[in-house]
């Protein structure tokens, strides 16, 4: 794998290598003292965030610092993109400064792929439109594997705004590759068009499936991506599809709750559920730094072994 653009191009071995390498970085990332290794000293990484981000941008920046890479961050509003410069010209301009990697978040699906056509540097997709968010999927898999010790055979419900979600589009195929069973749950208007999408059954009833699930993964309702579609009322959506304590009390004893953030508290997930003992939401955030360390390290030529914490 030269670039990380989507999850459906990754084999089970690729994913396992990322997760195992991330586990090697956990001791560095979570130690109280100096959180830094010289693994990418002298390498240059450009973070091009053309769409807002809290978790992804900050965790990439921290991961780069912890690997001792040199990095710079650019946003759409602070670059010459606002003067009408094309994406190709922007990338070729930065590429001429001899950088090793682009990390790109973009509103427009296909932007990271487009970048690969204008540079020989490595490209990581940090979320593009409704298309893919592969580094989110890796941190999700890491969090789930850490809790259960494995991924194969787990039953995972991905719940909510399926059609507009790059998180679902990345996580579902990655879970399937690793042998998990994925059930998609959402209102008919939010379901994916293909009834056999990655072999995942779809249902509109969370109550019918929740007690059988090991992981209940709640998606954010993508209010900014509705593009004229009817926006559900917060109260009605919460009643039919929101994760509240009444539903949580039907979950298996060892089952966990995930959410990629940012959350619409009181809509797809209630505040007391987001903060309850089953919630792994902040564990996901923590895993974001170390899985991104692993992805950058491996894509820039590191080996999966020999990392010294």
Residue ranges of the binding site: 55-56, 83, 105, 133, 136, 166, 220, 261-262
Nearest to 1 by CA among 152, 99, 116: 116
Catalytic residue from among 133, 247, 259, 292: 133
**Cis amide linkage into residue 262, ω under 30° from 0:** yes
Report the binding-site residues for L-aspartate.
83, 166, 220
Q: Are 164 and 190 in contact (CB under 8 A)?
A: yes
**What phi and psi, each to the nearest 5 degrees, are found at residue 120?**
-95, -5
The token duo for 60 is: 């990439």
The token duo for 263 is: 């959350």
Q: How far is the CB of 114 from ligand CP (least distance, A)?
A: 20
Closest to ligand CP by CB, 39 or 175: 175
Residues within the interface to ligand CP (CB under 6 A) = 53-56, 127, 136, 260-262
Q: How far is the CB of 262 from ligand CP (least distance, A)?
A: 6
- The span from the CA of 199 to the CA of 104, in Å, is 29
Tell me, yes or no, if 150 is annotated catalytic: no
Cα R_g (the chain), whole angstroms: 19
Spatial strand order of the sheet with 122-128 comes to: 70-75, 44-49, 101-106, 122-128
The token duo for 300 is: 């820039």
Closest to ligand CP by CB, 168 or 307: 168
Closest to ligand CP by CB, 47 or 90: 47
Nearest to 247 by CA among 221, 208, 284, 191: 208
- The span from the CA of 16 to the CA of 11, in Å, is 9
68 φ/ψ sector (left φ>0, alpha ψ -120 to 50, else beta): left
User: How far does CA 293 lie from the centroid of its chain?
Assistant: 14
Q: Are 276 and 259 in contact (CB under 8 A)?
A: no
Closest to ligand CP by CB, 54 or 205: 54
Closest to ligand CP by CB, 118 or 134: 134
Tell me, yes or no, if 107 is annotated catalytic: no
Catalytic residue from among 7, 21, 43, 56: 56
Q: How far is the CB of 5 from ligand CP (least distance, A)?
A: 16
Catalytic residue from among 57, 105, 278, 292: 105
Q: How far is the CB of 162 from ligand CP (least distance, A)?
A: 16
Q: How far is the CB of 143 from ligand CP (least distance, A)?
A: 12
Tell me, yes or no, if 105 is annotated catalytic: yes
Number of H helices, E strands in the chain: 11, 9
Catalytic residue from among 16, 35, 44, 55: 55
Tell me, yes or no, if 147 is annotated catalytic: no
Closest to ligand CP by CB, 242 or 260: 260
Q: How far is the CB of 265 from ligand CP (least distance, A)?
A: 15
Report the binding-site residues for carbamoyl phosphate.
55-56, 105, 133, 136, 261-262
Catalytically annotated residues: 55-56, 83, 105, 133
């Amino acid at each position: 794998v030269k670039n990380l653009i989507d999850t459906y191009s990754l084999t089970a071995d690729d994913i396992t290598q990322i997760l195992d390498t991330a586990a090697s970085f956990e001791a560095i990332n979570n130690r109280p003292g100096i959180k830094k290794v010289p693994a990418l000293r002298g390498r240059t990484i450009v973070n091009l965030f053309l769409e807002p981000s809290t978790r992804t941008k900050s965790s990439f920046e921290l991961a780069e610092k912890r690997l001792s890479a040199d990095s710079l961050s650019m946003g759409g509003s602070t670059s010459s993109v606002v003067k009408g410069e094309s994406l190709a010209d922007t990338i070729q301009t930065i590429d001429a400064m001899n950088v090793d990697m682009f990390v790109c978040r973009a509103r427009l699906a296909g932007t990271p792929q487009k970048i690969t056509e204008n540079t020989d540097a490595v490209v990581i997709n940090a979320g593009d439109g409704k298309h893919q968010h592969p580094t989110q999927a890796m941190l999700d898999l890491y969090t789930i594997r850490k809790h259960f010790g494995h991924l194969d055979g787990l039953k995972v419900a991905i719940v909510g705004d399926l059609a507009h979600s790059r998180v679902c589009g990345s996580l579902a195929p990655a879970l399937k590759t690793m042998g998990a069973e994925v059930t998609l749950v959402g209102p008919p208007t939010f379901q994916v068009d293909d009834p056999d999408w990655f072999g995942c059954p779809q249902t509109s009833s969370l109550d019918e499936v929740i007690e059988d699930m090991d992981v209940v993964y709640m998606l954010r309702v993508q209010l900014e991506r509705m593009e004229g579609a009817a926006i559900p009322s917060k109260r009605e959506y919460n009643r039919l599809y929101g994760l509240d304590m009444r539903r949580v009390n039907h979950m298996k004893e060892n089952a966990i709750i995930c959410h990629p953030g940012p959350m619409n508290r009181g809509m797809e997930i209630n505040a007391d559920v987001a903060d309850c003992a089953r919630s792994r939401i902040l564990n996901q955030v923590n895993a974001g730094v170390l899985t991104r360390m692993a992805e950058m390290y491996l894509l820039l030529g590191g080996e999966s072994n020999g990392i010294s914490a």
